[in-house]
Structure 1
Amino acid sequence: MSAENKTPFDQVNDTLTQLKEMRHYSKNNVERLTAQWLLFDGELKKLKQAERIEELMTRQGELHDALEAEITALEELVVQLQPAPEEASPGSVH
């Protein structure tokens, strides 16, 4: 289905899928950076690099939080945009 033929529901779902993938990688990056930080905290401080790494960890954490918030908002929008189930026509037999 081309982008021109997608409904708003489909477009939001596609965006939501991409954001969830970004969240997954963001979480992994935060965990990896934190693990490295814990291993080298003392050495980084001696080399005067600790503050720069702390800033990166903070920014990565903020990105992860922003992704979480946007995913929540889009999940609520998906519910609103979801097409209503097709109702049976008045002359149909159940």
Structure 2
Amino acid sequence: MSADTKTPFERVNDTLAQLKEMRHYSKNNVERLTAQWLLFDGELKKLKQAANIEALMTRQGELHDALEAEISALEELVVQLQPAAEEDAGGGTVH
């Protein structure tokens, strides 16, 4: 189905799926960066690189939090769009 023929419901679902995939990778990146941080914390401080890595960890965490918030908002929107999408597909309401 081309992008021109997709319903708003389908577009929101597509976006939601992509954000969930991004969240997955974001979480993995935070976990890997944290593991590296714990292994090399002392060395990074000696090399004066600890603050740089801390800043990256903070920003990656903020991205993860923003993804979570947007996913929640889109999940609510999907619920709102669902009945309209089903009604349109059925050719109207049943009396």
Q: Distance in 2 between matches of 1:32 and 1:84?
A: 42
**Equivalent residue pairs, number:** 90
Task: Tell me which amino acid in the other structure corresponds to 2:24.
Answer: H
Task: Tell me which amino acid in the other structure corresponds to 1:72.
Answer: S
Q: How does 1:14-93 map to 2 (within 5 A)?
A: 14-82=14-82, 83-84=85-86, 86=90, 89=94
Structure having the higher Rg: 1
Deviations 1:8-51 (A, max 9, x none): 00000000000000000000000000000000000000000000
Moved over 2 A (4+): 83-90
TM-score by length of 2: 0.89
Deviations 1:49-88 (A, max 9, x none): 0000000000000000000000000000000001346588
1:9 aligns with 9
Task: Tell me which amino acid in the other structure corresponds to 1:28.
Answer: N
TM-score by length of 1: 0.90
Q: CA RMSD, aligned part only?
A: 1.5
